């Protein structure tokens, strides 16, 4: 294929200020920047979908954490998929669909070694969601960290979110006896049971989590997949069976709080029940990738999996999408479509 | 050996009332009861040492837990060692040293199948401590639950207690790079470093645990063995390295509290650090018993292990010993010597 003519500039979203508590639009800046021509070994990608994820909120703080902080005045990187529009790298042709980590910009110039070519037969955006880090997080968390076995009962918080909606579906497809999800609105709750195959779901804003969980899973649970923290984790510790497991994957309830969080007051129950609470990051589980792609890719092709997503159109609305995701306005994976 | 003449009666400690908060002497009753002659398959044991343990406080409450509650007006069972004084069971002779579960009484009549003959070459009381459930708890907790490996740094709370003093010594003998303990008095702290081989120790009553731990282990820890809960656990979560483990073995800070406990407010750190917090009961680890007896018995015979114990003389002082143990008046294993 012929090389396309690169535009002189493209838009980028920069971090303009570090938020305290909830981020506001003024913390971000939309900037026009030159598009770099590829040097030897590099490619230029025109991004088509950007991922906005809860972990990005943590990177907006200037603290040492598992991911380095975003720098003030620099682009907010993140997962993205797009197509090659210029290539000076062997094995990458114009038009190839790729996955890479330079999101929050329209055009990315990068070493080809930092991009992964993806299967053109599958929807491009699925590599940011169900077949990407989101799906692998759910898969590894449920199976490796949570040691889920067929016949067990699973509770997932943030179940209408990108990871949560996969956890619940994977558990059902793998033979769970019961899958319960919590979410933040009646519409999401309805979607969980009517479209995603959850056995039960509840709106955590409608009453105490422990009471609603006890109604949904009166005989208790074996695995709790935590995307929320706080009251949810405490309720789950109370409901877990002997030798139950809690997968600590997210604490979105705390990310924007300026109050000190409350720890689970019933944690001493973990002794007698021999519970295991284990934190996870997907980066520890890349070895599971081939098995994950085979099994989940198969479910996706067979139509057994609902790859829920909320797409916000327009690069200029990336911040709105990010803030909306933090507030829970999405169901499933929240994506920004750059074209639009 | 000839059968000894059994006395008509022996003394027992009964639970007289269920405490709220700290137990008081009036919650217990010293009762004179008939000594039952052995039926076929039974033995009578004159107890020589009784074990008093933190878990017994939980059994005084009338709540479902991992050990059934003590019944009002009945004996407070527990671990005991003694010698057979009458036998109607094959394989058990008068004079044999045995370990069994009918403590808090001077004489126990029981099915021989519920007693274990122990090695007469080792001190009888060691089967309640370093070679008993106490030692196995420390051994299994450190190695199986805590996945301790040579070269790692270990922090133990309640380190002058029966389990804690073993955890620290086992860790050193297994090649820990650093062993830090916390205890509740300057005398105990001195004993940990000067006699039990801990690298560092501090008095948790002398200042914030997190600050004292940071001084004692400035480069952090790999394994935390929790006998205390509360502030200790929170400090340990802060100090644990990536992939660190917390063994949840006890929460003595909470056993007598009528206030709701405070959970670790920094538990969300477990996500990025991929911490594993795991509760344990020794009953899940009996398969480790042969390896445990071989390795720890060897250390004991070689004089490489200090089997710390505090012995209270006199059956009539069993309650004092129990209450003293709950308040931390012991160093090492707290025992009651029945003869005295």
**pLDDT-based confidence at residue A325 (cuts at 50, 70, 90):** very high
| Chain A residues touching B247 at Cβ < 8 A | none
According to DSSP, the β-strands at A107-111 and B42-51 are: unpaired
Give the model confidence (pLDDT) of A7-19 as tens digits. Answer: 999 999 999 999 9
The total of other beta-carbon atoms located within 10 Å of residue B313's CB is 13
Q: What is the ipTM score, two decimals?
A: 0.86
Least confident of A257-271, A320-334, B86-100, B265-279: A257-271
B271–A260 CB contact, under 8 Å:
no
Mutate to test the interface with B, among A66, A144, A249, A270 (most CBs of B within 10 A): A270
Least confident of A80-89, A110-119, B250-259, B269-278: B250-259
pLDDT of residue A340 exceeding 60, the answer is no
Give the model confidence (pLDDT) of B157-216 as tens digits. Answer: 999 999 999 999 999 999 999 999 999 999 999 999 999 999 999 999 999 999 999 999
Partner residue facing B263 (CB), from A262, A275, A280: A262
Mutate to test the interface with B, among A263, A269, A280, A286 (most CBs of B within 10 A): A263
Chain B residues with CB-CB distance to A under 8 A?
Answer: 65-66, 229, 233-234, 248-251, 254, 260-281, 284
Chain A residues with CB-CB distance to B under 8 A?
Answer: 65-66, 229, 233-234, 248-251, 254, 260-281, 284
According to DSSP, the β-strands at B42-51 and B80-87 are: antiparallel
- For residue B283, the model assigns a pLDDT of 93
According to DSSP, the β-strands at B333-337 and B309-313 are: parallel
Chain A residue with the nearest C-alpha to that of B274? A279
Instruction: Give the distance from residue A140's alpha carbon to the nearest chain B alpha carbon, in angstroms.
Output: 13
- For residue A67, the model assigns a pLDDT of 78
Chain B residue with the nearest C-alpha to that of A280? B274
- Residues 6 or more apart whose CB falls under 8 angstroms from that of A162 comprise A53, A129, A134, A308, A309, A330, A332, A333, A334
Partner residue facing B274 (CB), from A263, A269, A279: A279
According to DSSP, the β-strands at A153-156 and A221-226 are: parallel
pLDDT of residue A35 exceeding 70, the answer is yes
Domains A9-129+308-337 and A133-284 share a fold: no
Q: How far is the C-alpha of B218 from the C-alpha of A233, rounded, in Å?
A: 30
- For residue B1, the model assigns a pLDDT of 42
Please name which of B288, B250, B276, B267 lies closest in space to residue B156, comparing C-alpha atoms.
B250
- What is the helix (H) or strand (E) element at residue B42, kind and residue range? strand B42-51
Q: What is the mean pLDDT of chain A?
A: 93
Length of chain B measured in residues: 340
What residues form DSSP beta bridges with A84?
A45
Quick one: tokens of A142? 């449920």
B271–A263 CB contact, under 8 Å:
no
- For residue A131, the model assigns a pLDDT of 94
- For residue A249, the model assigns a pLDDT of 96
Beta strands in chain A (DSSP E): 9-15, 28-34, 42-51, 80-87, 97-100, 107-111, 116-117, 153-156, 178-183, 200-203, 221-226, 240-248, 276-279, 309-313, 333-337
Mutate to test the interface with B, among A262, A268, A276 (most CBs of B within 10 A): A268
- Burial-class residue B256 by CB neighbours within 10 Å (0-12, 13-18, 19+): middle
What residues form DSSP beta bridges with B247?
B225, B278
Please name which of B242, B182, B178 lies closest in space to residue B212, comparing C-alpha atoms.
B182
Query: Where in chain A are the domains?
Result: 9-129+308-337, 133-284
- For residue A275, the model assigns a pLDDT of 98
Q: How far is the C-alpha of A165 from the C-alpha of A133, rounded, in Å?
A: 14
B251–A271 CB contact, under 8 Å:
yes
> What is the CATH number assigned to the segment(s) B9-128+308-337?
3.90.180.10
Q: Which residue shows structure tokens 């309830």?
A: A253
Please name which of A208, A212, A258, A252 lies closest in space to residue A229, comparing C-alpha atoms.
A252
Instruction: Give the distance from residue B93's alpha carbon to the nearest chain A alpha carbon, in angstroms.
Output: 37
Q: How far apart are the first and last CA of chain B?
A: 25
| Chain B residues touching A278 at Cβ < 8 A | 270, 274-278
- For residue A2, the model assigns a pLDDT of 44
Instruction: Give the distance from residue A266's alpha carbon to the nearest chain B alpha carbon, in angstroms.
Output: 7
- For residue B4, the model assigns a pLDDT of 61
| Chain B residues touching A234 at Cβ < 8 A | 263
| Chain A residues touching B55 at Cβ < 8 A | none
Least confident of A179-193, A318-332, B160-174: A318-332
Average confidence (pLDDT) over A73-94? 95
The CATH class that applies to domain A133-284 reads: alpha beta
| Chain A residues touching B233 at Cβ < 8 A | 267
Please name which of B222, B281, B221, B226 lies closest in space to residue B248, comparing C-alpha atoms.
B226
Q: How far apart are the first and last CA of chain A?
A: 25
Average confidence (pLDDT) over A122-144? 94
- Residues 6 or more apart whose CB falls under 8 angstroms from that of B300 comprise B122, B126, B130, B131, B307
B268–A229 CB contact, under 8 Å:
yes
Instruction: Give the distance from residue A56's alpha carbon to the nearest chain B alpha carbon, in angstroms.
Output: 13
Give the model confidence (pLDDT) of A199-252 as tens digits. Answer: 999 999 999 999 999 999 999 999 999 999 999 999 999 999 999 999 999 887
B268–A254 CB contact, under 8 Å:
yes
The total of other beta-carbon atoms located within 10 Å of residue A164's CB is 31
| Chain A residues touching B66 at Cβ < 8 A | 271-273
> What is the CATH number assigned to the segment(s) A9-129+308-337?
3.90.180.10
Size of the A and B interface in Cβ pairs below 8 Å: 106
Which residues of chain B are under the pLDDT cut of 70?
1-4, 256, 340
């Amino acid at each position: 294929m012929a090389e396309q003519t690169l535009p002189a500039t493209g838009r980028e979203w920069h971090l303009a200020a570090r938020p305290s508590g909830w981020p506001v639009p003024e913390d971000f800046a939309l900037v026009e920047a030159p598009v770099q021509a590829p040097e030897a070994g590099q490619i230029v990608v025109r991004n088509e979908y950007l991922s906005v994820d809860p972990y990005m909120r943590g990177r907006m703080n200037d603290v040492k954490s598992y991911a380095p902080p975003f720098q003030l005045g620099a682009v907010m990187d993140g997962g993205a998929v797009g197509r090659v529009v210029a290539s000076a790298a062997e094995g990458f042709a114009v038009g190839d669909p790729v996955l890479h980590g330079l999101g929050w910009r329209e055009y990315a110039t990068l070493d080809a070694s930092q991009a992964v070519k993806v299967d053109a037969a599958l929807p491009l955006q699925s590599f940011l969601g169900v077949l990407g880090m989101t799906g692998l997080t759910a898969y590894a968390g449920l199976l490796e960290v949570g040691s889920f076995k067929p016949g067990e009962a699973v509770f997932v918080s943030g179940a209408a979110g990108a990871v949560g909606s996969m956890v619940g579906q994977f558990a059902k497809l793998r033979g769970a006896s019961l899958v319960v999800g919590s979410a933040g609105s009646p519409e999401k709750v309805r979607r969980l049971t009517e479209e995603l195959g959850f056995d039960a779901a509840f709106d955590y804003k409608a009453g105490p989590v422990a009471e609603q969980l006890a109604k949904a899973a009166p005989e208790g649970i074996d695995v709790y997949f935590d995307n929320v923290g706080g009251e949810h984790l405490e309720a789950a510790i109370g409901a877990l069976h002997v030798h139950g497991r809690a997968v600590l994957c997210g604490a979105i309830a705390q990310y924007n709080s300026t109050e000190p969080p409350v720890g689970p007051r019933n944690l001493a129950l973990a002794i007698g029940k021999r519970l295991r609470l284990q934190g996870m990051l997907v980066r520890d589980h890349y070895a599971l990738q081939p098995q994950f792609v085979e099994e989940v890719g198969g479910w996706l092709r067979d139509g057994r999996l609902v790859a829920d997503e909320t797409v916000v159109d327009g690069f200029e609305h990336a911040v709105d999408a990010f803030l909306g995701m933090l507030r829970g306005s999405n169901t499933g994976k929240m994506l920004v479509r750059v074209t639009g």
